[in-house]
């Protein structure tokens, strides 16, 4: 007997990234696939001490059912952190603690999206946002994007053309997958247009703390006079992902709805995990920890950029991110990253084909590389192996193309 | 500017229980409202030791991103536990670890329900299931229920009359809110009817381990030859709620869909929490722990039943549960528990009005009492205060009723 699932399940597919993560657990594989932080930087000893303190001081409450909104102490500390580090004016009452910022996407989708509603997003955009939101059956309309962010002209055109836009989803700082950081001018234009059209902006900011070079640019939420921005933050990158602690910050009307749907979805986030992070923020040096992370990741980014410069064949373009965990590669238009993947895996190196990051498909000549989860040495080795797989595929494509097109060499650009 | 939320938000309201929990955090309030386990029984010292071991042994993996399905060791131990303690044949591959069993309800709703689909449920049913599922806009059709479970005749009638039934949601063991336990005969009839109509059964089993008297009755999942049953389990009652660890067990086709939607919803459940519970199951005596819980809760249930017998006015009926955390009260038909609540709160005692447990409303003359979260002495005191509030409201109702109806005393039944 066949089971009848909901209509939304027709759209739900396994993510390339999650499936890849399983393959790449073998230690001989150099994975530039997932978005894993460096585990050698996790605060393991601190957590042993913090757990003992939290449990000995008030174990009964740390292990009991708790409020949906989140632990009051942690919410106050998050609000203070947003103020101190990003200049965002926010009250603890506007913070909702979530199971990683991924849950913020699920709650936002649930609260705003009816089938057929439109989500405007960068092109490409975060694959996990596509899978979080897709179950609510929106149409994703991709806005043209360059190194400074969405093109305001294209954004405005689509805001006018699409009657059912519910929100604009963006990752302004060191975007996943492209590594790009929006300019201040583009951020202002986005907020102007959103305000003019009365559309909410979802600002996904998992990498906001991870800048390695260049000057900080204010977050959208810090310039959000009208309360249009729903901000999603996380401790997965600055602390560790395994505790699953993120947050959503939004004005009261939106916050309340998100609390109600979180209540139905899982009652509340682990109270023990919340108290561990609140205690960490109280006792340890968050700024110092972030500085240490930046130093390591800066070195890894540079190692990857050097290796790309050194190893990659002509016709391959890479972004030059000022922060975050990722770098984005464009191959010649006739080369599919999905064809490269098996040859890369055969060489024990993994990446994520870029097509997954376009909700409406296409762009198969792109791929995403992660630089946070491997040592500089292994990054060099991994990029070398990937370049070798690429050369093999490109030689074949070139052989085929040579039969029916003139041989024009593609210009080489290691940075865009 | 008004924000336009999704259509589903029209149905989403704050739960009485969660709002009550906030009021009742004052230590002078005797709360019989929430469903809180006894915190003095939480394994606090064990968790300090377990955390140290888990982090020292493999902190890097315990704190890293992990698989959506859940920790492999924990899934194997859950499957073994279901086999050993409930005779359920299940493989680890059919287990999905969730953020409490509440998340199992959200995933099940997402995977199965289109707007207008029908959920058949007990009458009354768990208020948290109503709020988890309501966002998917089903119609709840309540099936008539007595002390042995759903009435098979009414269930069959509704299976025939309703073309769009997606699943039947039940809590066969010590139901929330009624405390009732289904008879074996009724369980068999339910499975027969579900199989005949090709309808999935969601068996929510948070209290399955908490039997204080009478003989165990096999779970639906243990008799599920056709793979129709989605089983929801949790460690919130046997271990502690604050870690938010539950699980969903279902045949592969359903399991895979639930994994996909969980991936979008929050990537995965806290890996540290999962490893803590897996390690607990490996090292400590789960059966012994459950026995200790049962002994305490048995005493509290008995104390509540004695107090009801002693204190409650005539016309008040109570169930006599053989397990779980709750007992169910029916007041005379003309007395609303919502009218009793403010007078109870004025006496520093709290409960949950029963109307919340009926998805289609009505039954305001009912209420739910929790007996797990207070000492026997405070339970006696709390029931006394509640009885005093009740007598006050009933005297007024009686005064009004006496004006237009003959004074027929309601029969007293302290147990049903």
Quick check: B131 and A4 CB within 8 A?
Answer: no
pTM of the model: 0.94
Residue B72 exposed, middle or buried by CB count within 10 Å (0-12, 13-18, 19+): middle
pLDDT at B401: 57
pLDDT band at A11 (very low <50, low <70, confident <90, very high): confident
pLDDT at B416 over 80: no
pLDDT at B385 over 70: yes
Test the B interface: residue of A12, A24, A61, A64 with most B CBs within 10 Å: A64
Across A21-30, B284-293, B394-403, least confident range = B394-403
Nearest to B265 among A67, A103, A273 (CB): A103
Q: Judge whether A112 and B7 are in contact, CB under 8 Å.
A: no
Distance CA A339, CA B305 (A): 70
pLDDT at B406 over 50: no
The three-state secondary structure class of B366 is strand
In total, the C-beta contacts within 8 angstroms joining chain A to chain B are 244
Choice between A89 and A24, residue whose per-residue pLDDT is larger: A89
CA dihedral for B335, B336, B339, B345, sign (positive or negative): positive
pLDDT (tens digit, 9 = 90+) per residue, B214-231?
999 999 999 999 999 999
pLDDT at B323: 98
Helix residue spans in B63-99 (DSSP H):
72-86
pLDDT at B402 over 90: no
Distance CA A313, CA B164 (A): 58
Quick check: A261 and B113 CB within 8 A?
Answer: no
Mean pLDDT in residue range A291-316: 97
Alpha carbon B391 to its chain centroid, in Å, reads: 29
Test the A interface: residue of B5, B58, B242, B373 with most A CBs within 10 Å: B242
Angle between helices A271-283 and A72-86 (to 10 degrees): 50
pLDDT at B414: 36
Q: Omega before B177 cis (within 30°)? A: yes
How far off is chain B from A352, nearest CA to CA, in Å?
Answer: 17
pLDDT band at A412 (very low <50, low <70, confident <90, very high): very low
How far off is chain A from B165, nearest CA to CA, in Å?
Answer: 10
Helix (H) or strand (E) holding A22: helix A16-23
pLDDT band at A415 (very low <50, low <70, confident <90, very high): very low
% residues pLDDT > 70 (chain A)? 94
% residues pLDDT > 70 (chain B)? 93
List chain B residues with CB under 8 Å of A134.
Answer: 264
pLDDT at A411 over 50: no
Test the A interface: residue of B16, B19, B21, B110 with most A CBs within 10 Å: B110
pLDDT (tens digit, 9 = 90+) per residue, A136-185?
999 999 999 999 999 999 999 999 999 999 999 999 999 999 999 999 99
pLDDT at B410 over 60: no
pLDDT at A7 over 50: yes
List chain B residues with CB under 8 Å of A68.
Answer: 18
pLDDT at A407: 42
Mean pLDDT in residue range A244-255: 97
Mean pLDDT in residue range B165-188: 98
pLDDT at B163 over 50: yes
Nearest to A60 among B39, B135, B136 (CB): B39
Tell me the Cα Rg of chain B: 22
Quick check: A271 and B39 CB within 8 A?
Answer: no
Quick check: B257 and A166 CB within 8 A?
Answer: no
Mean pLDDT in residue range A72-90: 97
Residue burial B167-192, b: 16+ Cβ < 10 Å; e: rest = bbbbbbbbbbbbbbbbeeebbebbbe
Choice between B299 and A25, residue whose per-residue pLDDT is larger: B299
Identify which of B390, B240, B237 has the alpha carbon closest to the alpha carbon of residue B312: B390
Identify which of B134, B212, B229 has the alpha carbon closest to the alpha carbon of residue B172: B229
Phi/psi of residue A60, nearest 5 degrees:
-60, -40
Quick check: A131 and B263 CB within 8 A?
Answer: yes
Across B158-162, B278-282, B308-312, B402-406, least confident range = B402-406
pLDDT band at A400 (very low <50, low <70, confident <90, very high): low
For B246, the closest chain A residue by CA position comes to A266
Helix (H) or strand (E) holding A325: none
% residues pLDDT > 90 (chain B)? 89
pLDDT band at A24 (very low <50, low <70, confident <90, very high): confident
How far off is chain B from A18, nearest CA to CA, in Å?
Answer: 8
Distance CA A90, CA A78 (A): 9
pLDDT (tens digit, 9 = 90+) per residue, B88-124?
999 999 999 999 999 999 999 999 999 999 999 999 9
Q: Judge whether B14 and B23 are in contact, CB under 8 Å.
A: no
pLDDT (tens digit, 9 = 90+) per residue, B312-351?
999 999 999 999 999 999 999 999 999 999 999 999 999 9
pLDDT band at B20 (very low <50, low <70, confident <90, very high): low
Residue B162 exposed, middle or buried by CB count within 10 Å (0-12, 13-18, 19+): middle
Q: What mean pLDDT value characterizes chain A?
A: 93
């Amino acid at each position: 007997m066949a089971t009848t699932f909901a209509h939304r399940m027709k759209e739900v597919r396994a993510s390339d990234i999650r499936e890849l993560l399983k393959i790449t657990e073998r230690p001989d594989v150099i994975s530039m696939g997932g978005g894993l932080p460096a585990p050698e930087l996790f605060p393991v000893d601190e957590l042993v001490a913090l757990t003992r303190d939290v449990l000995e001081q008030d174990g009964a409450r740390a292990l009991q059912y708790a409020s949906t909104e989140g632990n009051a102490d942690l919410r106050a500390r998050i609000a203070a952190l947003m103020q101190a580090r990003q200049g965002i004016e926010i009250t603890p009452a506007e913070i909702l603690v979530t199971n990683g910022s991924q849950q913020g996407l699920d709650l936002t989708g649930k609260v705003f999206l009816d089938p057929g509603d439109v989500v405007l997003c960068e092109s490409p955009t975060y694959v996990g946002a596509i899978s979080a939101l897709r179950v609510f059956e929106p149409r994703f309309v991709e806005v043209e994007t360059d190194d400074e962010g969405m093109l305001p002209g294209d954004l405005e055109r689509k805001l006018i053309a699409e009657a059912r836009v519910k929100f604009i989803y963006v990752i302004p700082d060191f975007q996943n997958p492209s590594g790009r950081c929006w300019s201040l001018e583009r951020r202002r234009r986005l907020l102007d247009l959103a305000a003019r059209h009365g559309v909410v902006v979802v600002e996904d900011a998992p990498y906001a703390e991870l800048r390695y070079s260049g000057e900080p640019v204010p977050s959208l939420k810090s310039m959000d006079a009208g309360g249009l921005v729903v901000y999603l933050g996380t401790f997965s990158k600055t602390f560790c992902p395994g505790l699953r602690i993120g947050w959503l910050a939004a004005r009261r009307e939106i916050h309340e709805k998100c609390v109600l749907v979180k209540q139905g979805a899982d009652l509340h986030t682990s109270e023990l995990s919340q108290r561990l992070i609140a205690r960490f923020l109280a006792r340890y040096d968050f700024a110092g920890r972030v500085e240490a992370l930046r130093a390591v990741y800066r070195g890894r980014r540079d190692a990857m950029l050097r290796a790309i410069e050194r190893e990659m064949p002509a016709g391959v373009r890479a972004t030059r991110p000022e922060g975050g965990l990722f770098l984005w590669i464009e191959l010649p238009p006739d080369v599919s990253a999905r064809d490269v993947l098996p040859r890369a895996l055969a060489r024990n190196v993994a990446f994520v084909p870029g097509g997954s990051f376009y909700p409406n498909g296409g762009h198969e000549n792109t791929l995403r590389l992660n630089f946070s989860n491997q040592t500089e040495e292994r990054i060099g080795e991994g990029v070398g192996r990937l370049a070798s797989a690429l050369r093999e595929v490109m030689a074949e494509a070139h052989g085929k193309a040579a039969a029916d097109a003139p041989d024009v060499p593609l210009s080489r650009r290691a940075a865009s």
